[in-house]
């Protein structure tokens, strides 16, 4: 029996929030435009997505004063659309979903994927597409997890949490378009501080997203050391491919 997935059955759109300023990176420009193995970080992310089977299109949310997006070769692909992002990540995602709702039906499957995660594997995308309609890539915690409390100038352990039940949320996060749009609108209106990813908005709306275990290469480039690590992995493609095939997890 063939495992081939029909592209029509699994047609989906990808939303890429890319309107952040990358404060934690502390660089002279937003982190998505920093050079990674010879081209901007976001070019790796978009070229990766453009190779996913069954892709209908990508909506990228960029900053109003974005100076570079149109210079990317991926930006010339007719499947790539842009909108102006907002003050917070959720505002950028919502702007992209509003644009998408003019192009596609309410049941359309949407994968929201951070511009700052260039190394997600196609194997993980296939797993996510095959999972429940509301699902996300995530990684089970490998360190022991401590909850903290402040005591004057010190941070103390208040308790150790059961590690088996702790997962670190990644992207893509998957949902039908209208379900996500309504959940984000509701979440931003009622509890904006709690909406740090799509799943948190969907949880607030009563859904229980499925956790799909992802490869360790799908880390988010946040601090300067993450860029060095991504560069090293890209220079050792064979190691990266072994990691992504599950051989080194
Ligand atoms: N993002 C966005 N709109 C915002 C804030 C973030 O589209 N108003 C995007 C970022 O460009 C990134 C993704 O959301 O691709 C994940 O956010 P994060 O890693 O936090 O990026 P930044 O917000 O840019 O970084 P920092 O929090 O360090 O400032
Ligand atoms: Mg941020």
Query: pLDDT by residue for the chain (249 residues), tens digit each?
Result: 444 444 445 699 999 999 999 999 999 999 999 999 999 999 999 999 999 999 999 999 999 999 899 999 999 999 999 999 999 999 999 999 999 999 999 999 999 999 999 999 999 999 999 999 999 999 999 999 999 999 999 999 999 999 999 999 999 999 999 999 999 999 999 999 999 999 999 999 999 999 999 999 999 999 999 999 999 999 988 888 888 888 655
Determine the distance from the C-alpha atom of residue 61 to the mean position of all C-alpha atoms in its chain, rounded to a whole number. 13
Could you tell me the domains of the chain?
A: 12-139+167-248 (3.90.550.10)
pTM (predicted TM-score): 0.94
Q: Which of 89, 184, 199, 222 to mutate to test the pocket of ligand 1 (most atoms within 8 A of CB)?
A: 89
* Ligand 1 atom nearest to 116, measured from its CA: 15
Beta bridge partners of residue 110, listed in sequence order = 13, 175
185-228 tens-digit pLDDT: 999 999 999 999 999 999 999 999 999 999 999 999 999 999 99
Ligand 1 first shell, C-beta below 6 A: 17-24, 31-32, 61, 85-89, 92, 114-116, 220, 222
- Of 99, 37, 59, 98, residue with least CA distance to 236: 37
d(CA 54, CA 107): 16
Cα three-residue angle 99-63-28, rounded to 5 degrees: 155
């Amino acid at each position: 029996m063939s495992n081939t997935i029909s592209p029509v059955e699994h047609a989906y759109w990808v939303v890429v929030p890319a309107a952040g300023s990358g404060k934690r990176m502390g660089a002279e420009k937003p982190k998505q435009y920093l050079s990674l193995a010879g081209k901007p970080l976001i070019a790796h992310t978009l070229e990766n997505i453009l190779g996913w089977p069954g892709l209908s299109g990508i909506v990228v949310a960029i900053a109003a004063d974005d100076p570079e997006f149109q210079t990317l070769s991926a930006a010339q692909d007719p499947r790539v659309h842009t909108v102006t992002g907002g003050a917070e990540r959720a505002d950028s995602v919502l702007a992209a979903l509003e644009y998408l709702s003019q192009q596609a039906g309410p049941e359309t499957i949407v994968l929201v994927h951070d511009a700052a995660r260039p190394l997600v594997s196609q194997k993980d995308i296939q797993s996510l597409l095959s999972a429940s309609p509301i699902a996300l890539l995530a990684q089970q915690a490998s360190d022991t997890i401590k909850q903290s409390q402040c005591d004057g100038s010190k941070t103390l352990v208040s308790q150790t949490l059961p590690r088996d039940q702790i997962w670190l949320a990644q992207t893509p996060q998957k949902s039908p378009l209208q379900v996500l749009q309504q959940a984000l609108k509701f979440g931003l209106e009622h509890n904006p501080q709690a909406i740090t990813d799509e799943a948190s908005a969907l949880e607030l709306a009563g859904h229980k997203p499925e956790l799909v275990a992802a490869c360790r290469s799908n880390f988010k480039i946040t601090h300067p050391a993450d860029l060095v690590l991504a560069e090293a992995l890209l220079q050792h493609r064979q190691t990266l491919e072994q990691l992504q095939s599950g051989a080194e997890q």
